[in-house]
Chain A
């Protein structure tokens, strides 16, 4: 039971933090249409997070709610992978982060669709349609920037340098992932295949698979960035407990 709760929270935290990062673009997008596009993706992800939190709350009982899980847990209790909490930096880093993450979600949800757990199965099946679009949208941006101007190429290559070290953690199962029937070899192979094919189109070099990677987010050892995200996100509930609007 604890494993299922933790796993559901892991799925929820990934979606929430990624969604929150994307929401930071709202009103700051490089062009109106893309501002709306990334805000839409943010809303999709926060919607997924809500579904997972609601399910986790029913599993936990004890008056837990989706809100208490999102607003009243501290950094150490968050299980999201390090990738999603990384700063947006520029547009290149934002779309690359989205591409890495959405591709991961895509193959993960494909497997979750066949999970034994009816709830996870249903949420994954519903979310997969959204994620399919996120993969398409972010892939096209990676290609556009990689195969674009000298400046855009420079930026996307820099983004690969910044973010690649956080991708290894995605395929390193935490203890609560061990009984989930997720085939991590399959997940990693498919993810790599997709990254390679899009990078080839974008004329970007894929870093060596064996390169060093960072990990720890899944078990609560986060980078300094998550604390700032939570401070902003949780301020209201912490300062005015149980306030509603």
Chain B
């Protein structure tokens, strides 16, 4: 049986998580050990395109995170818009669950539209 548990970005590697403790209550606003919290940065490179994940950085608050992102990730004209979100707010799937989550899709070739015969008249597919 799969137990649903919340995982947060950056949790991996610290496998000694006590399964009885709730992750949500352990995150303090100032981060761990006096370090500034981690933020994820999303940059839109052009009008009309999506914001794409560019990387992460440390900052004390959202304003500083946007400024840091501006300095770290847009120095070479990479972007025209920045989103930041504190990493702890990103919920991630657990790599240990990969078997259960992704493998079942592996042998289901019929979910790909590869068995249709395209009429010759259809171009650009």
Is A37 in contact with chain B by the CB < 8 A criterion?
Answer: yes
Q: Is B106 an interface residue (CB 8 A)?
A: no
Expressed in whole angstroms, the Cα–Cα distance for A37 and B60 within the complex equals 14
Which of chain A's residues has its CB closest to B69's CB?
A33
Dominant secondary structure at the A interface? helix
Q: Name the distance in Å between A138's Cβ and chain B's nearest Cβ.
A: 11
CA distance A63 to B57 in the complex (A): 47
Residues of B within 8 A of A (CB): 36, 57-60, 63-64, 67-68, 71-72, 75
The answer, among B36, B60, B63, B71, for a CB contact under 8 Å with A40, is: B71
Residues of A within 8 A of B (CB): 31-34, 36-37, 40, 136-137, 140, 144
**A–B pairs, 25, beta carbons within 8 Å:** A31-B36, A31-B58, A32-B58, A33-B57, A33-B58, A33-B59, A33-B68, A33-B71, A33-B72, A34-B68, A36-B68, A36-B71, A36-B72, A36-B75, A37-B67, A37-B71, A40-B71, A40-B75, A136-B67, A137-B67, A140-B63, A140-B64, A140-B67, A144-B60, A144-B64
Q: Closest residue of chain B to A136, judged by CB?
A: B67
B39 → A minimal CB distance (Å): 10
Chain B's closest residue to A43 (CB) is B75
Q: Which of chain B's residues have a CB closer than 8 A to the CB of A36? A: 68, 71-72, 75
Q: How far is the CA of A37 from the CA of B72 in the complex (A)?
A: 8
Task: Please indicate the chain A residues that have their CB under 8 angstroms from the CB of B58 in the complex.
Answer: 31-33
Residues of B within 8 A of A37 (CB): 67-68, 71
